[in-house]
Amino acid sequence: MTEKLKGTTTVGIVCKDGVVLAADRRASLGNMVLSEKVTKVFWIDNHLALAGAGSVGDILSLVRLLRAEAKLYRAKVGKEMSVKALATLTSNVLHGSRFMPYFGWFLVAGHTGQPRLYSVDMAGGVTEDRFTAAGSGMEFAFSILEAEFKEEMTLEEGVKLALKAIKAAARRDVFTGGGVTLVTVTDEGYKEWSEEEIKGLLE
């Protein structure tokens, strides 16, 4: 049944000092909510992250593959894969599987020299963005991002905007809800924010 769990809203924002990924935590099966504790933003390497909207089983399978490839790249080359390289790898995997696809839409983000964000669709199409959203509540998230995103936002401003976009989606999209996973990636590395830190920002 796990591979059938779906429904989410994910958001990505590039800031001057890092990149923000946020997602709700609800998983649904049809019109039924099955979990409010699902993680949809993942560590790939010290400065690399991925968020997925779609089939939970497919997302987890791709995450395992990308983690293994990132580890292999580090062992072979002696350094961390770049954000662009991870986006290209994700695209190649998805395009190569297009006849038996991963049912998901992915945001690839990180900070390997500079903060970067890519959107990768199910067929492997890649778009680099300054901000983006994916999933069942993306229209509602985009309405907030389009109105309030500014170039050279600080990380704190980006975090608050991402939370606001997810909150807007949760208010209008029945498949979005259950709290928020919030991740930032800066030159110092990957950080997943605690529930207490998120609660403090929402208040």
Catalytic residues: 8
Q: Cα-flanking dihedrals φ and ψ of residue 93, to 5°?
A: -65, -45
Strand order in the sheet with 41-45: 41-45, 48-54, 104-111, 115-120, 126-128
Cα dihedral value 139, 203, 184, 166, nearest 10 = -10
Query: Cα(first)–Cα(last) distance of the chain, in Å?
Result: 36
